[in-house]
Structure 1
Amino acid sequence: MSKKQAQAEETKQQILAAAKELFARKGYTATSIEELATATGSSKSNIYYHFKSKEGLFLHLMDEHDCEWKAHWTQQKSRYGTLIEQLYGMTEAGIKAGFHHPLHKAAGEFLGETKGKNSYVTERIHKKTEEDRAYYREFFQQGIDNGEFKNMDPQAMALTLESLFRGLSEIALLMDYEEAQNLFRNSLTILLHGIASDVSSVAEEK
């Protein structure tokens, strides 16, 4: 790496550190590019050079969190003996990482303000959704192959889990950490075991 490249990378990291602090303290909407420039001693044009936009800057921070989470989960998942235990463990660890992340509230603002309104953001979120969906699909296929899950369509199972997590995430915004953990754990139990007392009678009624 040349001296110029090293300086550019240092500036980029300074912008990210200042942005993370400001977004965490003030929220996404209330933080302006002007404030970010002042906090870093940089210029607005320099911020735009590295991140294109305020949205791009926040997405970069979200990507960093996502990479940290994936690395953490890769280390942790071997602790669980079954895929069902993994699913509970992954969910609980994910909620903990999200709730205690400094950008938790700002991320909710960001998604509410930009999703479906900004094509760049929408495309990036869509890509992230497809990656998660593929992970869930492979997860369920593995469970089908080893006999932990019924031989059903893994794509449908992945979409069901994704839909469950999306809905629960919105509800959990109004809860504290313990309430959210209980909500997700109970919902997973219902998903895995169902609510009908006699599954065979339900099948017959169909």
Structure 2
Amino acid sequence: MFECKRCGKCCENPGEIAIFEWEKEIIEKEAEKENNGNAVVVPGIIAKIGNSKIIVQWKIRNKGKCLFFDEISRRCKIYENRPLVCRAYPLSCSGINLKEVREIIGEECKYAKIPFNIGEKITKKELIERLKLEYGEIFLWAFRLDVARIFIMDLLKFYEEEIKKLDTNEEKGLLEFLTSKKLYDKELIEYEISKIYNLKI
């Protein structure tokens, strides 16, 4: 079974880290505590709908090592609040959204392995079972990460026509836009997000 060796490779030069809108505020508060301006949260994926620019995903832009990586302890300073993408690492996909096998595992982690042979024919169900066995809790976070991506994209598709009708010429995060225009209730969003974080398989 996979076990993190705390080599720090994934944190020493992570580049841009994709985060969700609900993670943005937490990251910004934590970055403020660090007070060295090493991490900047900027729009990542933007959907242009009519005249509106809807931010679907954000990213942490790091200069060098991740702001939250403690080089002495080799641990994350915000472990309990780390983004979903970090919780799921080294998996970049749980298998439910899989297009290509090489999408499953982050290339930077030399300790991660694909739990089947290249060329071996396995069903999606078998793939998921093997990933669960090899990665345990990490696989569960990768599954939740996939579900969160699907949730955001489904929300965008569902409200696309409403956003077009409003034709506001704004640049906002999807959730902020929907709640500010009273298209979606903030408490309902929080409930949906909490369901994602508590998903079991």
By the TM > 0.5 criterion, same fold?
A: no
Normalization by structure 2: what TM-score?
Answer: 0.24
Greater RCO (Cα-Cα under 8 Å, separation 6 or more):
2
Larger Rg: 1
Larger helix share, 1 or 2: 1
